[in-house]
Structure 1
């Protein structure tokens, strides 16, 4: 009954999640691309976050069809590796982009002197590139071990992580997921947030240094961080419990059914983060709204300019045609007439 619920509920949920997430993140990227002004450091990180979420959601419809087909993978071994590696790359890219946003807030509000030379657009672009390379590196275990394999027990041809040739690879992969994909980023974000809170509390003592915009932006960072913890936390906890079963701290047979179902539910709950990020982070931010207003005003101005140009051309053409019909009239000077 539990697996029938999975087959019934999860595929439409994934399709809806993917469609809405692609539209929202695509809209965010379009606004950043349409704005002609140079992006700020914060906007570079926001656009990088939207790109990572967009690419992650591109691979989810394959998994929806995979579940609809009773966990039979019909897209070949290459797509099995590519789709899952894409998800892992963008998972790491998304979390470490959130880390960089948190550090950027920390520099702007706490280390203001350092921020003058550290918060540069060139550095932000280099950091984003390094984050993508880091995500690619951490996805290599998935790229190597993901493969299409026939499972006799369930009579399915599934896309699975195959660790049969070495169980230590599974343990290493799960420890890496818990530490590099969750514990370390969360520690950095908590450290940055705690220092930001202290800096803001000191500033509020002197109203001359109180900036409502900084407070609002910082609260927004906390909200996104909390959202990440709520979405990815259950998956990370279940991954840790699976690791405890592998090292025989917990009874694997006792936890097998719970972990199998929990993994299916928690991983698709985690992907909800990619849909909610643009809603919470970007659309509620005043700077993005200003950028969106600027893009809309420029579009309206261009349409009006185009319409006005057409009107002016018509007016000039009418004026020229009428002036050609006017006969020239010679007016003599009065002084010439009287010989002065």
Structure 2
């Protein structure tokens, strides 16, 4: 019997889960050859890691080193880039884990910390997008009061709270993530070891509510109101909010990309929870969910690479900042070079005298 995976962010294994909890899935035969996972998935994860680190570091450099202070929207987007950066930085451990046939060689501490990094930043990311949605909603729908509410210090405080909330949602990882040797597979697996099946279902159910249903509901409400406001402004030809419209276009694009990448994963995770709760059943559904968990996890990870690309393609203000930053560095380099040349000339003249 080969070890099969469940979703990568949880990094429980399907075979371990089916055997431990003795659910209706345990009587199902293994319909698929999972060897492709050990060969293709590590390559994909490493590619996502390299691209994600390079692109998100580039975004953070632009936001942090530009001479102008970040706007409220840029504060949220820079924190989103930071969350994506931490997430992709944790993935190489799972590339090694998968290529080793789900044999964890990094110890219990890294088993907990790496999963904490993946979970915390996945949860924080969606709440940074909630903050972005609320910011755009206030800027376009409640234009008269947005000056008081949309201040950088409040944006930074909001980001700090979202990091903390992401950590709170990830507490089950610190508590229940364990490394255990399974002699039937010959591996040390890093997996979620819940004390009871009830605790497992309750914990996963709460995470689905707070990491998917609630934030998606807020984002959907704000998006509908924003689109309505944009239509009204287009009819009335408001020119005073042109900058806000550009920022909103970028925000809507980033939101759409996030929904395309993450909603399928959350839907399959919800179906998997219903399957484990025995609300749903059937070997065919079990097999489909196992396969979809893998495919949609790949899609979700790709979002961490896609966001920086969207900033460049859609964000006119971001492209402007990139150009200004390069000019800023070029001028500084020229000044430094001329200063060094002047210093050398002065030293030469002193020597001659």
TM-score, scaled relative to structure 1: 0.87
Instruction: Kindly provide the CA deviation profile for residues 78-129 of structure 1, in whole angstroms up to 9, marking residues without a partner as x.
Output: 1111111111100111110011111111111111122111100110110011
Note the 1:194-213 alignment, pairs <5 A.
194-209=224-239, 211-213=241-243
Give the one of 296, 303, 307 matched to 2:326.
Answer: 296
Between Structure 1 and Structure 2, whose CA radius of gyration is higher?
Answer: 1
Q: Relative to 1, partners in 2 of residues 1:251 and 1:321: Cα closer, same or farther, differing over 3 Å?
A: closer
Give the one of 53, 70, 74 matched to 1:39.
Answer: 70
Q: Tell me, which stretches of 5 or more residues in structure 2 are unaligned?
A: 1-31
Determine helix, strand or coil for the equivalent of 2:191: strand
What is the count of residue pairs matched by the alignment? 322
Aligned partners of 2:186, 2:350: CA distance in 1, in Å?
84
CA contact (8 A) 2:57 2:85 kept: yes
Q: Relative to 1, partners in 2 of residues 1:269 and 1:2: Cα closer, same or farther, differing over 3 Å?
A: farther
Aligned partners of 1:211, 1:41: CA distance in 2, in Å?
15
Determine helix, strand or coil for the equivalent of 1:271: helix
Give the one of 259, 266, 269 matched to 1:236.
Answer: 266
CA drift at 1:321: 10
Aligned partners of 1:54, 1:258: CA distance in 2, in Å?
31
TM-score, scaled relative to structure 2: 0.84
Q: Relative to 1, partners in 2 of residues 1:87 and 1:315: Cα closer, same or farther, differing over 3 Å?
A: closer
Determine helix, strand or coil for the equivalent of 2:178: strand
CA drift at 1:279: 1.0
Q: Aligned Cα RMSD in Å?
A: 2.3
CA drift at 1:247: 2.3
Counterpart of 2:302 in structure 1 is 272
Q: Relative to 1, partners in 2 of residues 1:75 and 1:319: Cα closer, same or farther, differing over 3 Å?
A: closer
Aligned partners of 2:70, 2:245: CA distance in 1, in Å?
22
Aligned partners of 1:314, 1:72: CA distance in 2, in Å?
60
Note the 1:289-328 alignment, pairs <5 A.
289-312=319-342
Q: Relative to 1, partners in 2 of residues 1:315 and 1:184: Cα closer, same or farther, differing over 3 Å?
A: same
Aligned partners of 1:170, 1:318: CA distance in 2, in Å?
76
Determine helix, strand or coil for the equivalent of 1:268: helix
CA contact (8 A) 1:203 1:210 kept: no
Counterpart of 1:27 in structure 2 is 58
Counterpart of 2:174 in structure 1 is 143
Aligned partners of 1:125, 1:216: CA distance in 2, in Å?
22
